[in-house]
Amino acid sequence: MLKLKKNFSVLLIVLLALSFFSAAVSAENILGNGEFTEDIKTINNVTDNGGGNFATEDNWLFLENAGAGVGEIDSEMFKVSVFEGGSNTYSIQLLQAPVEIKKGYKYKVEFDAKASKPRELELKVGGTADRGWGSYVGGKGETGGFVAELDREMKSYEFEFVMIEDTDSKSRVEFQLGKNTGTIWLDNVSLTEVGEASADEIPEEQKKKWVYNKDFFFIFNVAVGGNMGGQVDTDFPKEMLVDYIKVYDQDGNLDWEDDFDGEEVNEDYWTYEVGNGHKQGIPGWGNNELQYYTEGENAHVEDSNLVITVREEQRSDQYGEYDYTSTRMITQDKVNMKYGRVEIRAKLPEGQGLWPAFWMLGSDITENPWPGSGEIDMMEFIAGQTDEVHGTVHGPNHYGGGGITQHYVLDEGDFTDGYHDFIFEWTPDEMRWYIDDDQEPYHVVERTDDNQAQRGGNPEEPEYTKNAVVNGEFNSSILDKMSSSPDNWYVWTGEGGAVSDYGVEDGEFKIDVSSLGNQTWAIQFAQYVDLDAGDYRLSFEARADAERDIIAMVQEDGGDWKVYGEAQPTLTSEMKKYIVDVSLAAADIPKLLFSLGNTDNGETTAVYIDNVKLEKLN
């Protein structure tokens, strides 16, 4: 029902109030300010507890993530004018939190909305980083939310869902307002508890749907900055050299190759994508990238190599100005692949802030937007970490930070010293990643009987030290090998986080943070611990050259990402001891984690950690 405005008669209001009195009593709105009679909040006047856990105090928070717009109350409605929609629906949000959503209960969501032009709006009720950003709605939107088709007429929308996950007292109700421009009006938003769901009302859990059964096309590019590249701190120009790409079918027959032996890039195979993603509706190419991709100016063939050159030079277009140029070349509508083997031989560029990649997107992406199209990252390289590459897949319910990923670290040397072979094998039921002449894949993703994508392979199970921290006094160097020795310390960076140096010095662990990245967890110092059920006390000592906060936690790895214990101390130049209470209801092998990324008061500085201990209390 659309909002009754003041020019309606008092009598009509009274009659309506009486007719709906019993329903209002039994179905109380869980949300505050649903009729937008009060001013909403901004990021500057809410409590941010990290990991997306905002306290909006029964009100709404207007949040610009990777988009731009103006949100305001207009005639007792919420009005947002979106100038840059960003690359995702969640690039701009109106959200309320925390909201308790109870397992086994049915909920009803209602709201009124219109837009200045036909467009979609997504509404998600879901978890924060603690719960893997999952949606409880089970909708068809980019983030698993309910999708409303808006037009210029104010209309009412409603849907119901059943909570099948464990009760979440920190849920968020999110209107996803990004990925498009224009003006949206919202009104009369309500979330009501219908009651306990019957057995036949409980849906199946969302699946990590397998979408890797169709044609994909290839992409070669070198990005600058962005979610993975992080802070730019290197000299230019930089070059990536590609010797060849060979594609074989499932029988081992050569299906297509480009050995770059001509005088120029073969445009029968390749198309240049130009700009910074604005034309495609994804500014910064969806990853906050800084470069402008040119139409062939940064790519040439030399000595039977494709050479992609990244330069520090200014370019501008109708959308803005850019300080770097590079190349992004694709085979869309020219060369596709479905199953077989890919071999790419290349020498990667060195330089903090560069982000080279060889990857694929589903050929139906025009009709089936990402992540529904699927993405296969055959190789991603964070150039500040020269001995490590990553392989990942993204698809429905496993995208972004939830992508199925694994990294590979060279035993000796790095990927910028010379050429290396990046090999990807793909069958109807499995994908495998290899480096050089390794006989065993470093990453496997498999298809399950119910058409899900999951991590596969048969890696050797590591041996863990029970109920204890390994090398917590830093009497020796850290092993820094997450795959083979997860119960010893390792450093991980992503989402734009970067470190310039780290290691054990004078009996302390020291890590120099050079870029905070986009998430609290963009820089991690961690190890896995094998813990029985029970209560524990985690203690550690820490300091920093410049005052900043860090997050210390013990957290489930995957699943609901449950946090078993957490603290967020502010470090000073004085070494101090900190305590974290930890409790597990059941045995688990969680991650003991220090998050050194974009915390509330994060700073790029050196952090020192020592005397990490985990004591079982019962």
Q: Which residue has the higher pLDDT, 403 or 473?
A: 473
Q: Which residue has the higher pLDDT, 539 or 131?
A: 539
* Same domain as 262, residue 141: no
Residues 6+ apart with CB under 8 A from 18: none
Phi and psi at residue 539, in whole multiples of 5°? -130, 150
CA gyration radius for the chain? 26
Is residue 211 assigned to a domain?
no
* Same domain as 77, residue 136: yes
Residues taking part in catalysis: 375, 380
Q: Which amino acid is at 179?
A: K
Is residue 475 assigned to a domain?
no
Q: How many helices (H) and strands (E) does the chain have?
A: 3, 43
Is residue 479 assigned to a domain?
no
Is residue 408 assigned to a domain?
yes
**C-alpha dihedral sign at 22, 23, 28, 31:** negative
* Same domain as 605, residue 569: yes
Q: Which amino acid is at 125?
A: V
Q: What span, in angstroms and rounded, lies between the C-alpha atoms of 87 and 107?
A: 30
* Same domain as 235, residue 195: no
Q: What span, in angstroms and rounded, lies between the C-alpha atoms of 381 and 392?
A: 12
Is residue 374 assigned to a domain?
yes
- Choose the final residue of a domain: 423, 441, 459: 441
Three-state SS string over 289-341 comes to ECEEECCCCCEEEECCEEEEEEEEEEEEECCEEEEEEECEEECCCCCEECCEE
Q: What span, in angstroms and rounded, lies between the C-alpha atoms of 210 and 195?
A: 34
**C-alpha dihedral sign at 550, 556, 560, 563:** negative
Residues 6+ apart with CB under 8 A from 371: 142, 394, 395, 396, 398, 399, 400
Distance from chain centroid for Cα 207: 18
Looking at the chain, how many residues does it have? 618
pLDDT tens per residue across span 351-397:
888 999 999 999 999 888 888 899 999 999 986 678 889 999 998 87
Is residue 243 assigned to a domain?
yes
Furthest-apart CA atoms within the chain: distance in Å? 85
Our CA dihedral for 221, 224, 226, 231, rounded to 10 degrees, sits at: 150
Q: What span, in angstroms and rounded, lies between the C-alpha atoms of 314 and 325?
A: 8
Element spanning 579, H or E: strand 576-584
* Same domain as 197, residue 229: no
* Same domain as 173, residue 48: yes
* Same domain as 280, residue 422: yes
Cβ neighbourhood burial of 389 (10 Å; 0-12, 13-18, 19+): buried
Q: What span, in angstroms and rounded, lies between the C-alpha atoms of 364 and 300?
A: 29
Q: What span, in angstroms and rounded, lies between the C-alpha atoms of 123 and 53?
A: 18
pLDDT(458) > 60: yes
Residues 6+ apart with CB under 8 A from 101: 107, 125, 136, 163, 167, 168, 171
The residue-averaged pLDDT of 533-556 equals: 95
- Choose the final residue of a domain: 424, 441, 458: 441
* Same domain as 411, residue 543: no
- Choose the final residue of a domain: 166, 201, 236: 201
Q: Is the peptide bond before 203 cis (omega within 30 degrees of 0)?
A: no
* Same domain as 368, residue 341: yes
* Same domain as 291, residue 177: no
Is residue 4 assigned to a domain?
no
454: tokens are 């999951």
* Same domain as 234, residue 294: yes
Is residue 462 assigned to a domain?
no
* Same domain as 507, residue 594: yes
Q: What span, in angstroms and rounded, lies between the C-alpha atoms of 196 and 582?
A: 32
Q: What is the CATH number of the domain that holds 268?
A: 2.60.120.200
pTM over the 0.75 mark: no
The residue-averaged pLDDT of 139-147 equals: 84
pLDDT tens per residue across span 503-519:
999 999 999 999 888 78
Domain count, the chain: 3
pLDDT tens per residue across span 328-347:
999 999 999 999 999 999 99
Q: What is the CATH number of the domain that holds 165?
A: 2.60.120.260
Q: Which domain holds residue 383?
A: 216-441
Q: What span, in angstroms and rounded, lies between the C-alpha atoms of 598 and 615?
A: 29
Q: Work out the pLDDT band at 14, boundaries 50, 70, 90.
A: very low
pLDDT tens per residue across span 591-601:
999 999 989 89
- Percent of the chain, pLDDT > 90? 63
pLDDT tens per residue across span 186-208:
999 999 999 998 888 877 655 67
